[in-house]
């Protein structure tokens, strides 16, 4: 069998069993704030202290003992053992794919463990809280660091690379995403239009469920290892 390339899109659902709440299951409420109210450039302009506090709480949770689950590990195994190319595109801002061993990985919404200078765009790893009084090395000034995360209304990262991979892949798999947020929600149509097989793994059919050729429903920690076993000819 010719081993074509595989593109995997992951959403909050793949990290749910690692203990990180998803967005819409928590009906979008985080510490009494709607994600849309704290994950926008306007929110940061209006109240940077609140936005830093919102992301500091999520960073502390991530660094406080959250581990990759069997779904993350199965995707790392697929990249390692599958003869064709495997690219993981995640909407998640956690580092669980990296910690599970995935290397060909794109964070289209940015990364919680990085901040960036709003003047120079320079990124810095952050292992704890970030605040408005913190100085960036590039400017030696306070108040210029923001979470290195793509907010509502901002453009996701590396879209050219993603569309190129979608147009060339033989299989597109979406795992643990509700299909509410574009442009990620449009990826299945790009892949299908280019002739790829399309498969959705979720607890239940997402709002795009009917667009996929096939859906497999159940916890990602069970469904993803089963799929990888099958793809590796096990
Ligand atoms: P948006 O509402 O600005 O829409 C993004 C694009 O998708 C637009 O071109 C819009 O026309 C299109 N679109 C929206 N709904 C559509 C639909 N039902 N059918 C077809 N096209 C549709 O995007 P957003 O949801 O506000 O998010 C803006 C960006 O912010 C997105 O790129 C998203 O990836 C990112 N984001 C990041 C976070 C985060 O926490 N990191 C949170 C939310 C969104
Ligand atoms: N296994 C598989 N799927 C799961 C699991 C699980 N254990 N738990 C939840 N899910 C599914 C839910 O059924 C839902 O379809 O994961 C999906 C989570 O959807 P959302 O909370 O909307 O998260 P996501 O799709 O990643 O949101 C997209 O919106 O708020 C923005 O930037 C944020 O990246 C996020 C984007």
What lines the ligand 1 site, CB under 6 Å? 39, 93, 109-110, 149-154, 156, 181-184
Contacts of 180 by beta carbon, 8 Å cutoff, 6+ apart: 24, 207
**The pLDDT of residue 25 is above 90:** no
Q: Whose CA is nearest to atom 11 of ligand 1?
A: 182
Across the range 78-95, mean pLDDT stands at 97
> Cα(78)–Cα(227) distance, rounded to whole angstroms?
10
Residue 15 in marked binding region:
yes
Ligand at shortest distance from the CA of 38? 1
Nearest-atom number in ligand 1 for the CA of 181 is: 25
Q: Is the ipTM of this complex over 0.85?
A: no
Q: Whose CA is nearest to atom 5 of ligand 2?
A: 13
**The pLDDT of residue 56 is above 70:** yes
Global confidence as pTM: 0.87
Residue 176 CA to ligand 2 center (angstroms) comes to: 5
């Amino acid at each position: 069998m010719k081993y074509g390339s595989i593109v995997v899109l992951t959403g909050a659902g793949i990290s749910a069993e690692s203990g990180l709440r998803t967005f819409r299951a928590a009906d979008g409420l985080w510490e009494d704030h709607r994600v849309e109210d704290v994950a926008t450039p306007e929110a940061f302009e209006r109240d940077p202290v609140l936005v830093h506090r919102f992301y500091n709480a999520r960073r502390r949770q991530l660094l406080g003992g959250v581990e990759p689950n069997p779904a993350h590990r199965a995707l790392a195994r697929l990249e390692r053992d599958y003869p064709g190319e495997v690219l993981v595109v995640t909407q998640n801002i956690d580092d669980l794919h990296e910690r599970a061993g995935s290397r060909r990985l794109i964070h289209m919404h940015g990364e919680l463990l990085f901040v960036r200078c709003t003047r120079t765009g320079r990124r810095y790893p952050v292992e704890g809280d970030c605040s408005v009084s913190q100085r960036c090395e590039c400017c030696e000034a306070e108040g210029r660091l923001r979470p290195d995360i793509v907010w509502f209304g901002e453009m996701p990262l590396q879209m050219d690379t993603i569309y190129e991979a979608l147009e060339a892949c033989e299989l597109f798999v979406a795992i643990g995403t509700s299909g509410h947020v574009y442009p990620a929600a449009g990826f299945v149509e790009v892949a299908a239009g280019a002739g790829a097989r399309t498969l959705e793994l979720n607890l239940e059919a997402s709002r795009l469920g009917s667009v996929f050729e096939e859906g497999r429903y159940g916890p990602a920690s069970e469904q993803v290892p089963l799929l990888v076993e099958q793809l590796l000819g096990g």
